Structure 1
Amino acid sequence: MIEFDLVGADVLWPEGLMRAPLGLCAGRIAAAGGGREVDLSGYLVLPGIVDMHGDGFERHLAPRRGVMKDLAPGLASVDAELAANGITTAVLAQFWSWEGGMRSADFARRFLTALDKTRMLTDCRVQLRFETHLLDDYAAFEETVAAYDVGYVVFNDHLPHAALENGKRPPRLTGQALKSGRSPEAHLTLLQALHARRSEVEAALDGLASRLNARGVLLGSHDDATDEIRAKWRARGVSISEFPETQNAAASAHDGNDAIVLGAPNVVRGGSHSGNAAASDLVGAGLCDALASDYHYPALRQSVLRLINEGIVTLEAGWALVSSRPAEVMGLSDRGSFTLGKRADLIVMEPETGRIGATLVAGKISYLSGDVASRFLS
């Protein structure tokens, strides 16, 4: 592995932004002076992005309706997109859902198997997103978590309960049915059956969360709407609140020392596409521990730049939301900041445009482009 001394750039150290050389040795942050000098004058050198939740990989595995037979080329494409966007640690959020297709239990297992067998330059991990009303799947889901050593589980409930309760046909039913491979009638029958057993879910969740906690699995909830809902999850040991829908729910998470993950696309868009709390407002109120790519990988760095331009955060505080703080939430103490001995996960970025010139994961180059490439290769 080539050792580097990165010189001339503005480097985001734990103490703040300083123009001081950064040494890379054996895949770790080291004292400068032993490596080949690379002059990065005019650029920012920042800790690599840690993405706690992203499902943008789906389009690489199914560019049109239907999954590709061999997932390895799609995963290689995911790896390239992650690297081009400065993501050095990526949590791929894979559904285990009644939605079927790419979000089915069968595909989740296939995806986990393919990821295990595919060499990725990015440190790719898995979050399994489990639909809570799949009561007949609890045992199989738990077995899969154990078999693939899944370290992060998030609980979802996307059933259209209001429509089902009122005997109405849920919105987008036909499109969902086509994606699942079912007829609209069969899909509706399934949703009705899951909704009918809703009274059994609370007790089943209590047991599952307890057992996963005992295994050391990180647990999160999705789209918390109220402080009461967040308090219920906290009582189960579910310590991460993903994309809370209201400021009350986010405040409850904060007061309970739960981690709050917000969607970076929400920041870039200037608000939620579904009318929920604006992520920028929550960041400004101190109700955010990590920004996540959600469905759009470029949004991570774009969101930080927008927050800085709007005067909501400093570079130091904003970049922490995509590096050191998500690493801390995930228990990854070996990355997220430029401390001697930590992994050499970093990006080189144009300060004016936010364009990535280089991404390094554990000291290995995963992306290199343009003028920055010339400097590394000269």
Structure 2
Amino acid sequence: MSLEITLEGARVLRPEGWTDTPLSLAGGLVTDAVARRVDLSGHDVLPGIVDAHGDGFERHMAPRRGALRERDAGMLAVSSELAACGITTAVIAQFWSWEGGLRGPAFAQEVFESVALMRGSVAVDMRLQLRLETHYLEAFEAAEAAIDRFGIRYVVFNDHLPHDRLAEGRKPPRLTGQALKSRRNPDDYFRLLLDLHARGPEVAPALDALCRRLAAKGVTLGSHDDRTAATRAEWRGRGARVSEFPETEEAALAARASGDFTVLGAPNVVRGASHAGNASAQALIAAGLCDALASDYHYPSPARAAWRCVELGLLDEPAAWRLVSEGPARLLGLADRGALETGKRADLIVMEHGSRRIVATLAGGQVAWMTGPVAERFFA
């Protein structure tokens, strides 16, 4: 049930900046009609977070290697964690990869089915992203069928093959652990990698054809871990206008110069550096090379990263928050959310003004998360 209320006494982050004008909600939307008043003095109201890429759901669905998978119960727990972190729209980023295990097609089907089951029963809007490995050619047809079946509207392309080593016939580091993780014999796993690498000449034509078909269906396309301007140009030529987690400033600059969207990792901002030694998200934001911050592997990070940008003097508060709300909504083509404007979805979070602790999350006007004394204000 969506609430019909007017929030007053709080600072509200509108598109024009902070205001103390009351915010009214009805029918799941921001409205101009005044309804039952809720006093939120001492709090801030901000647009709900739109998370353009997150795989933190894995720990809920498969908490330990070899342990019983908690498919539907796990995804329900994911929705609760998302709401507690202020995320009202979440893109569940799932691999479709030769790597197997949690990255294989079988697990992907479980994830897609679970998200489909949750729709309509939880307030958070959970959407799907399929992350397709570029050299997994024999799985392209099945991946496209899954995209059609589950209505997936965001596909990103990855290439996790260690090509330099494979070109020399050398085993990559940590091969044994990766093989066992996917329940394969290490020698068989190495032969698989060599076979995938050898199919390199077939990859570009297959990708060109697949991208044309997906673009014709209105699917948003992106590339992952761009390193060079040439790589970004190659993906742009296929219609992939989103650059996820570019590894270098060169790639990020190329994306910006061509009007492509750039997604950076919020954990990178919080840590102050990439865990893999790539370009610092803080530096790229300072250079104006970021359109959206995504949770990546840690759902609490988007909110924390936005405030970190403010603390470091990289952006003011409205601009920093746009990186986790309006920016990602725009790149996903979701014009109905990302800002607290009349007629848009009533997706919002309530924060304690001093501590910045999230105490309530409303998605589509429905209570998705609420804790502490603020609940008494809503339901007094």
1:275-314 equivalences in 2 (<5 Å): 275-314=277-316
Q: Where does structure 1 lack aligned partners over 5 or more consecutive residues?
A: none
Distance 1:353 1:206 in 2: 49
Residue 372 of structure 2 corresponds to: 370
2:256 matches 1:237: no
Shift of 1:187: 1.2
Q: Matched residues in 1 for 2:237 and 2:182: separation?
A: 34
Match of 1:31 in 2: 32
Cα 1:67–1:321, aligned 2, differ >3 Å: closer, same or farther? farther
Confirm or deny: 8 A CA contact 1:102 1:108 kept in the other structure: yes
What is the 5 A alignment of 1:219-368? 219-368=221-370
- 1:13 is matched with 14
Task: Tell me which amino acid in the other structure corresponds to 2:122.
Answer: M
- Following superposition, the deviation at residue 66 of structure 1 comes to 3.3
CA distance in 1 between counterparts of 2:76 and 2:117 reads 12
Among 205, 208, 211, the alignment partner of 2:207 is: 205
Which residue number in structure 1 is paired with residue 161 of structure 2? 159
Q: In 1, are the aligned partners of 2:249 and 2:279 still within 8 Å (CA)?
A: yes
Moved over 3 A (4+): 66-70
What is the CA–CA distance in structure 2 between the aligned matches of 1:228 and 1:313, rounded to whole Å? 30
Matched-pair contact (CA < 8 Å) for 1:22–1:32: no
SS in 2 for 1:189: helix
Q: Secondary structure at the match of 2:307?
A: helix
Deviation at 1:52, TM superposition (A): 0.1
- Once the two structures are TM-superposed, the CA of residue 365 in structure 1 deviates from its matched residue by 0.3
TM-score normalised by structure 1 residue count: 0.98
Q: Offset at 1:121? A: 2.0
Partner secondary structure for residue 20 of structure 1: coil
SS in 1 for 2:306: helix
Q: 2:86 aligns to what?
A: 86
Q: CA deviation at 1:112?
A: 1.0
**In structure 2, distance between residues paired with 1:226 and 1:5:** 49
Q: How does 1:122-133 map to 2 (within 5 A)?
A: 122-133=124-135
Q: CA deviation at 1:225?
A: 0.1
1:112-131 maps to which residues of 2 (within 5 A)?
Answer: 112-118=112-118, 119-131=121-133
What corresponds to 1:104 in structure 2?
104
SS at match of 1:331: coil
Q: How does 1:163-174 map to 2 (within 5 A)?
A: 163-174=165-176
> What TM-score do you get using the length of structure 2 for normalisation?
0.97
Distance in 2 of aligned mates of 1:287 and 1:351: 29
Gaps of 5+ in 2: none
Question: What is the rounded CA distance, in whole Å, between the counterparts of 2:66 and 2:258 in structure 1?
Answer: 42
User: Counterpart of 2:147 in 1: which secondary structure?
Assistant: helix
Residue 42 of structure 1 is matched in structure 2 by 42
Is 1:73 aligned to 2:73, yes or no? Answer: yes
Q: Structure 2: how far apart are the matches of 1:373 and 1:187?
A: 53
Contact kept? 1:302, 1:354, Cα under 8 Å: no
For residues 209-247 of structure 1, give each alpha carbon's deviation from its aligned partner in whole angstroms, at most 9, with x where no partner exists.
Answer: 111111110000000000010000011111000000111
Note if contact 1:66-1:101 (Cα within 8 Å) is conserved in structure 2.
no
Structure 1 residues 192 and 67: alpha-carbon distance in aligned structure 2, compared to 1, 3 A threshold: farther
Deviation readout 1:17-40 (Å, 9 max, x if unpaired)? 01110000111101152x221111
Preserved CA contact (<8 Å) 1:239 1:259: yes
Whether contact under 8 Å (1:47, 1:338) holds in the other structure is: yes
* Residues 21, 32 of structure 1: 8 Å contact kept: no
Identity %: 55
Q: Please name the residue that 1:56 is paired with.
A: 56
Q: 1:206 to 1:283 in 2, by over 3 A?
A: same
Shift of 1:69: 4.3
Shift of residue 351, structure 1, vs aligned partner: 3.1
| Aligned counterparts of 2:375 and 2:162: Cα–Cα separation in 1 | 50
Aligned-residue Cα RMSD (Å) equals 1.1
Name the CA distance, whole Å, in 2 between partners of 1:213 and 1:71.
Answer: 31
Deviations 1:143-191 (A, max 9, x none): 1111111100000000111221122211111221122111111111111
- Contact 2:25/2:346 (8 A) holds in 1: yes
